[in-house]
Amino acid sequence: MEQTTSANGRNTASPDPGYWTSVLIVSGIFSIAGFAINIIFGYVQIASEPGGTVFSPMMLGSVVVCLATCLGGLAAVWHVTRYITPRMKLGRGALIGFLTGAMIVLFSTLLNELWVIFDPGYTERLLDSVVENVEAMDLPADTQDQMIDQMAAGVRDTSVFQQLVVGIPVTGLLNLLTGMLGVRFFAVKEEDYTE
């Protein structure tokens, strides 16, 4: 049992939230969906002719996944309030959001690493395709070279550790915010709650 103090100062006991189930379910769904979208758009990118457009299929996929990933905290809070307890404080929502974001990064990184085992040439083919697309852009040669170098370094030199060190705080914080929004949208206020 978790002891809480309500806004009017009374001590109330709320059931153990058990939010980890929601965190794992939501982060699992979001990471699998995000991974699938990225892979699909990645193969579309590999198969497409270099059009020289700034908004390539891979970039489109990344933007969609990035935006969708931010909603993980919101979804996890919704799941907790729907299936575990309707009452939740802002701080608990923030924690659930952060943990959901962190788990999404962890699962996604794991899935990406597993995919490289399944299709070892995927990353190189994708990079080649993106480089061809940049070369087809109407940009000065120096700018093109700079973009290509940055992309190649980003893909080849980023270790799993770096992905996690950067990804967990950034995605965690974004989901922390949506987790707090989730409390505002879905949780029942203490004074409105009746057993």
Partner 1 sequence: MNSQQPTDHTPITPGMPPWVERNGFSDWAVAVLWIVLAFVLFQIVAGFVSVALIMIVGGTDPGVDFGDRLLQRMDLLFIGNSAGQILFLGFATYKVAGLHVWKDRVKTFLRFRTFPDTGRITGLTAVLFIVVQPVIWYLGYLNSQLPVPDYFSELQQSQYEMIESFLRSDGALLMAMVNIAFVPAICEEVMFRGYVLSAFEKNWGIWPAIIVSGLMFGLFHLQLTNLLPLASLGFLLALVTWISGSLVPAIVAHFVNNGSAVLLSTYFPDMAVTELTAETAPPVWTLIASILLTAWLIRQLFVSSESESEQR
Q: Does 112 bind partner 1 (CB under 8 A)?
A: no
Q: Is 120 helix (H, G, I), strand (E, B) or coil?
A: coil
Q: Does 134 bind partner 1 (CB under 8 A)?
A: no
45, 129, 156 from 56: Cα distances, Å: 7, 10, 20
How big is the site for partner 1, counted in residues (CB under 8 A)? 13
Distance CA 167, CA 54 (A): 24
State the Cα angle at 106 between 148 and 43, rounded to 5°. Answer: 45
Q: How many CA atoms lie within 13 A of 165 on its CB side?
A: 5
Q: Which of 46, 89, 144, 188 binds partner 1 (CB under 8 A)?
A: 89
Name which of 47 and 166 has its Cβ closer to partner 1: 166
Q: Does 140 bind partner 1 (CB under 8 A)?
A: no
Q: Does 13 bind partner 1 (CB under 8 A)?
A: no
Q: Does 163 bind partner 1 (CB under 8 A)?
A: no
Q: Does 158 bind partner 1 (CB under 8 A)?
A: no
Q: Does 94 bind partner 1 (CB under 8 A)?
A: yes
